[in-house]
Structure 1
Amino acid sequence: MKDGARRRRIGIRWQLFGTLAILTIIFILVLWVFQIRLLSYFYEREKFAEMQRIATELSNTVASPDFEARVQTYARESNACICFYTNGNLDRDLVEAHSASDCVVHYMTEGQLLEIYDMARANGGTYDRRLEVKNPLRGGGEEEEFRVPMIHPRSNDINAIHARLLQKDGTEYLMIMDMPLSPVSAVTKTMELQFLWIAAAMLLAAFVIALLASHIIAHPLTDITEKARKMAAGNYEPNFAVKTGYREVKELADVLNRAAIEIGATDRLQKELIANISHDLRTPLTMIKGYSEMMRDIPGENSPENVQAIIDETTRLTELVNDLMDLSKLQAGTQKLTPCVFDLTATVQDTMQRYDTLIRHEGYRIEFDADKAAFVQADRTMILQVIYNLINNAVNYTGQSKRVVVTQRVSDRKVRLSVADDGEGIPPDQISEIWDRYYRVDKVHKRSVMGTGLGLSIVKGVLEAHNATYGVDSAVGVGSVFWFELDLCDRHTDTE
């Protein structure tokens, strides 16, 4: 068992490490793609965007008094060479400003400038180009590089060229801007090496974090697991409280604590149930056996009274078995309802007449008080069983007066039926448990005057199957009132 728990802890650890490692690798790959593979692309894109911004600002000041000063300022601040030409005068600059004396545009021939002019005109007035200062200039398709002669002093450099056609007072201008592009290959090689070290460090950190996190998470879970094993072995007293601050683990511990309490209570009730059922089964069987042996062995004992005693005990045994079967069906949800509209008031009155015949000779009095006739839609047989069981319970626990009062009241489209006795009552802390099978307030099982002792459990199952409201009001030394409510309906309501 310990090896299995250890493997589960290792499983959590490696699962956390795997998750963190995957996230780390994804993060590093994203950084590698954007910071190394796409660095040159974004750098050049930013340079061209800067050149386009400068060209737009200068285009608004062409031929102004401070135009040349503005060109000089932009050239100096952006480390660029800027030349303006007029149409038909590409062989000399109208305005020129540069940050270095070896600008690429200075080495372009009139034919090369004319080619740039044509490209700008064909492209809607602007033209951007990445120039490699290496080989003679040649025009062509998009797949070809635009190059300048090798006689350029900054051979093997890369420049960005932006050309724009401008119109001012009927004059067309060609602006050419030349800006050097810094090589990023050396930077990317250095960053690649750094990324390897960063990746190794982050993976190591992920492993350490996984170790710590798995310990923090797995330790309380392991503790809870060990206590759950004790509970599975029949020890329902373990305390699942944990010291961790994780809300989910604390909620799990609270749920298991409640489960342990409920299972413990159910286990105790089950043991009491077995003992009580054994008692109630053994008593009639013992009496049946005793009377039968007496009638067999003793002449003259084969009397109608002894035969009736055997019949009574057999009937009681049959009732107990039937009640157990009914209760099992209700709790399993296999007992199907057959609803119909019936007069609840008349049903109670008929029941009272039968009870009067059964218990009159024992001194019990059952009174019925109804304000008006009440029709309900429910399973009549099962509701009748509820009424029988509540009256049986009241008869068993009523006081010396042997008086039971059944009351029916109609209010707000509901009818409440209550059965009251003047017995010892139920302590408040035990009221919620009286609906359990064979539950006794004094914990001493005794044979009921009437019924089998399972009545309240059957009442609970039937009323919950009808979604009815039910309860008990009790005070120690005063007595108890058991009640339930059903919805009223019209006596002519159709039933399915």
Structure 2
Amino acid sequence: MKYSIRKQFAYIFIGLMAGTILLCWFINNTFLERYYFHNKQTVVMDAYNQMNAAAQKGSISSDDFDIHLQQLSARYNISILVLDEDSETIRVSGGDPAILKIELWNHVLFDSAEGSEKLYPDTPEPKSGPGGGKASKYEENIITNKTLVRNDSPFYIVQLVTSNRVSMEYLDMWGFLDNGNLFFIRTALEGIRDSVDIANRFLAYVGIAATVASGIIIWIVSKKITDPILELAHISERMTHLDFDARYKGRSFNEIAILGNHINQMADTLEVTISELKTANNELQKDIERKNEVDEMRKEFLSNVSHELKTPIALIQGYAEGLKEGINDDDEESRNFYCDVIIDESGKMNNMVKKLLTLNQLEFGNEVITMERFDIVMLIHNYIQSAEILIRQNDATVRFEQDTPVYVWGDEFKTEEVFMNYFSNALNHLDGERIVDIKLTQESKTVRVSVFNTGIPVPEDSLPHLWEKFYKVDKARTREYGGSGVGLSIVKAIQESMNQKYGVVNYENGVEFWFELEKVTDR
């Protein structure tokens, strides 16, 4: 993104970091040398104060103070020399006593007096000129000798000394303690400018490394800030396309999280609202489709009913007219035959109308499906027992070997109607060995009930049409046993209302119809 917040964050913080380091470098380069030098002065003055305190207490010559002096010299990197009134060494630490004594006398001889006055009047004047003894050596050795502090009571001088011989700077302090001892303190400034340069270079290296590291860290941290914003932008983009599945999943409690939660709430509200609109629109569409289906089904129903009722009505009408006209009045057997035909055809019409009403209720969803737990084995045994007369009339052998209860979920009354249709079809299409074989096959979640009858298999081209209303494979035979072609349509409607499967399988010696029910699992 051209105007990325992440980049802006990174640039601002990197700029602040670089600016802070540059400011530190400037302060370090400008004031570090002064601070270092001031610190050295403080160290020297502190050493002097401790020696003067020991001189006042009379402990300057003690072993304990000697140890303390050695520690002081080592800690602050200073050289210390203390002389008594006879110029004898009392204490020395951190340097060669002879060299320290020479340096001290050089200060005494050349730096103590103001004008012509000297601290030691009996001391001869130093000779000057090239090769002229101490004076010339001292002058050759010292490039600059700058007095920083001078105190007269007690007398001491702090000086910045630059040595020509060794090209080094020293901070020297000399004078008298309160007990009259002469002292000399020297500390090397150790190339302070070099130290400042090294410190500045080190700070520059550290600053560059810190800036780079901070830039990387800030880039990573800013990603955690900008990623939720980009996520919200992506969610809002999806919402513009009516996709409300996206949700903000941040777990923080900052302002972005509050915004994300509000967007989630808005998405939920919009989703519910649009869902209600779509549901209403879908129901309206279903109503329109159902109306069209009802019109088509009404037309089909009227056509099929008129076709199916035409034959029995014609027979009833013909035989009734024959009876009215007195045909075969003298033949009682003929009259009885006419009446039997009328009664039989009336019964077929009544049975067909009942089945059509049942099918109509199932297809239009007016029939309530009651799901209950029942024993399918007992249902089959009870029906077989009630159909014993039909079994004997059809000279059929019925085999069902299951005795253990098997519990299923379903509408018990409608399940019995499904089994009744399969069983009656099997009896009406028996041939050959005239066997009806009933089996139960249990799966993990379902129970399959199959009804097999020996006879002629169903033609393959008729299999897909068996479940259609009024479809008959053999119309003459169906007419013979009073079939209406509606039974298997009722099976289809019942099984679909319970969301269960059904079907038919052809064998060489017969046909098997099956249906499934939900098994009651053991808990």
TM interval, shorter chain, is: 0.3 to 0.5
The alignment's TM-score, normalised by the length of structure 2, stands at 0.38
Q: Choose between structure 1 and 2 for higher RCO, CA contacts under 8 A separated by at least 6 residues.
A: 1
Structure 1 length-normalised TM: 0.40
Larger Rg: 2
